[in-house]
């Protein structure tokens, strides 16, 4: 197939380890071939019970891009990236295949969110292996109802996140992850302890200071995110779309 034979992609592990989110892009568009290769990478992903409950909307309309950027806290790159794709959960085709299917269990939502993440990461990794860059846009969920209007999403669908793609016009610092000792344990769960947390906070404080002079660390970022209601309109929205009702 053309998308497999014509493009030169970098080796997988260096591509994975070099990941940084890209938020500034040149104006150069992607070729049809690059776009197809990235979409085919998403299509090749594993899928829980092979239910394939994801739909990707490529947004090319500039008014829609602007409206989506506004939903996403005016993040400029939603408008300016060469490509903006929205990953949606989609059980509408399952209704078509089976009118009596029970599509409103919370498990269905987990399946969709997991599948979408796996599929999107295949896309981003494919893009990165072609010397492109990108960033996910979760802040689309700031106003899921508005996104639903803009993209005309039917019942049994919901937007999960967006993905900006394009040629990088920046080379950001690597954002240090937690050490493997905190992320992986053997046989039983091992909770992070205070010493490890303090060490990681220190490491991230240095990173934020160096990157942007910010007085921030991981614990403060957690507090910024989770000491207030977290998008409380999501559950009623999902119910309205016919999802996660029970």
Query: Which positions touch ligand FMN (CB under 6 A)?
Result: 19-21, 23, 72, 75, 135-139, 161, 175
Of residues 72 and 125, the one with the C-beta less far from ligand FMN: 72
State in angstroms the smallest separation of the CB of 160 from ligand FMN.
8
State in angstroms the smallest separation of the CB of 100 from ligand FMN.
33
SS3 of 133, please?
strand
Q: How far apart are CA 51 and CA 57, in angstroms?
A: 18
Contacts of 91 (CB under 8 A, 6+ apart): 53, 101, 103, 108, 112, 156, 157, 242, 243
Q: Are 103 and 244 in contact (CB under 8 A)?
A: no
Of residues 103 and 135, the one with the C-beta less far from ligand FMN: 135
State in angstroms the smallest separation of the CB of 62 from ligand FMN.
20
State in angstroms the smallest separation of the CB of 188 from ligand FMN.
27
Of residues 75 and 241, the one with the C-beta less far from ligand FMN: 75
Q: Closest by alpha carbon to 16, among 137, 172, 114, 121?
A: 121
Of residues 58 and 175, the one with the C-beta less far from ligand FMN: 175
Q: Are 92 and 39 in contact (CB under 8 A)?
A: no
71-105 residues labelled b (16+ CB within 10 A) or e (exposed)? bbeebebbbbbbbbbbbbbbbbebeeeeeeeebbe
The tokens describing 105, both together, are 């269990």
State in angstroms the smallest separation of the CB of 133 from ligand FMN.
10
Of residues 99 and 213, the one with the C-beta less far from ligand FMN: 213
Which stretches of the chain are DSSP H helices?
2-5, 12-17, 32-43, 62-71, 77-80, 92-97, 106-129, 144-151, 180-183, 194-212, 218-226, 234-240
Of residues 81 and 103, the one with the C-beta less far from ligand FMN: 81
Of residues 103 and 208, the one with the C-beta less far from ligand FMN: 208
State in angstroms the smallest separation of the CB of 36 from ligand FMN.
24
User: Which residue has the closest beta carbon to ligand FMN?
Assistant: 138
State in angstroms the smallest separation of the CB of 117 from ligand FMN.
7
């Amino acid at each position: 197939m053309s998308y497999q034979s014509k493009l030169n992609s970098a080796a997988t592990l260096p591509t994975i380890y070099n990941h940084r989110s890209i938020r500034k892009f040149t104006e150069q568009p992607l070729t049809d071939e690059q776009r197809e290769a990235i979409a085919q990478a998403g299509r090749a992903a594993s899928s829980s019970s092979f239910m394939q409950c994801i739909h990707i909307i490529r947004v090319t309309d500039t008014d829609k891009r602007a409206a989506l950027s506004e939903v996403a806290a005016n993040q400029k790159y939603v408008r300016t990236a060469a490509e903006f794709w929205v990953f949606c959960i989609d059980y509408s085709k399952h209704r078509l295949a089976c009118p009596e299917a029970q599509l409103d269990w919370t498990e269905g939502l987990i399946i969709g969110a997991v599948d979408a993440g796996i599929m999107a990461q295949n896309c981003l990794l494919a893009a990165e292996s072609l010397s492109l860059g990108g960033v996910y846009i979760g802040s689309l969920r700031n106003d899921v109802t508005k996104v639903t209007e803009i993209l005309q999403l039917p019942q049994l669908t919901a937007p999960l996140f967006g993905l900006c793609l394009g040629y990088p016009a920046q080379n950001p610092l690597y954002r240090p992850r937690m050490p493997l000792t905190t992320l992986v344990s053997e046989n039983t769960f091992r909770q992070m302890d205070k010493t490890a947390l303090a060490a990681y906070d220190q490491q991230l404080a240095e990173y934020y200071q160096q990157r942007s002079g910010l007085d921030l660390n991981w614990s403060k970022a957690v507090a910024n995110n989770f000491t207030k209601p977290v998008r409380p309109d999501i559950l009623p929205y999902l119910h309205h779309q016919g999802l996660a009702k029970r």
